[in-house]
Structure 1
């Protein structure tokens, strides 16, 4: 177990990414709490998802920005070296041929900060997740 020296919370993984205080209540607050260099990228992901899911509610779930409409559709989160996109394992399987240049696992895609964001791919994944149902 690893204990955060700032907040005292314990985690299974050493140097686990987390919020030391209360998790943010809105996506605006979530983005504002991230490093300045990452904020424009998070806004691009948010705007892309909102563009294809205008009916979805924005909320925070699992301390991550989440899009919801009768079920969780897709989540994203900022990490040290990448943005994690969480569409579920069925989406990863469905889009596998378009995800070859990204690290994936189970229901996650890692979008590294040092590459341009694949906004069209993010839009297509979000739309597919919404149309095909709850994959989380």
Structure 2
């Protein structure tokens, strides 16, 4: 397994078919959390917000997965992605059936709120 790289390097080295998806979603996350920084977390490329992992988007064999590093956030967003595959830690989607922008934004916003609450902000 390749060692984790930050999102900017992940995008730069991604297959052309994945690059657009990764750029789009990381740009959306950065728009919601402008102070987020490129990093890694749990062996995955990730944006960090206030020093905590915010979100990771990864290409997979079957498409893509988005990980907010919080089972609670995944559970909160699941009603917005009915019919999409999910695990306790992430939501799966494909290029043909992309996670809706509103659901992705809700996922990032919920994780930001969770981090802020944990840090007393």
TM-score by shorter chain over 0.5: yes
Bucket of the pairwise TM-score, normalised by the shorter protein: 0.7 to 0.9
Instruction: Note the residue ranges of structure 1 that are not aligned, 5 or more in a row.
Output: 1-17
2:75 paired residue number:
93
CA distance 1:64–1:52, shift in 2 (3 Å): same
Q: Deviations over 1:4-56 (max 9, x none)?
A: xxxxxxxxxxxxxx32xx543x3222112221111101111111100101122
Instruction: Note the residue ranges of structure 2 that are not aligned, 5 or more in a row.
Output: none
Q: Give every structure 1 segment of 4 or more consecutive aligned residues whose post-TM-superposition deviation is greater than 4 Å.
A: none
Which is greater in Rg?
A: 1
Tell me the TM-score normalised to structure 2 length.
Answer: 0.82
CA distance in 2, matches of 1:77, 1:58: 14
Q: How many residues align?
A: 114
2:34 paired residue number:
54
CA distance in 2, matches of 1:31, 1:108: 20
Tell me the TM-score normalised to structure 1 length.
Answer: 0.74
The structure in which a higher percent of residues are helix is 2
Pairwise CA RMSD of aligned residues?
1.8
Residue 79 (str. 1) matches residue 95 (str. 2): no
1:119 paired residue number:
101
> How far is the alpha carbon of 1:65 from its aligned partner?
2.4
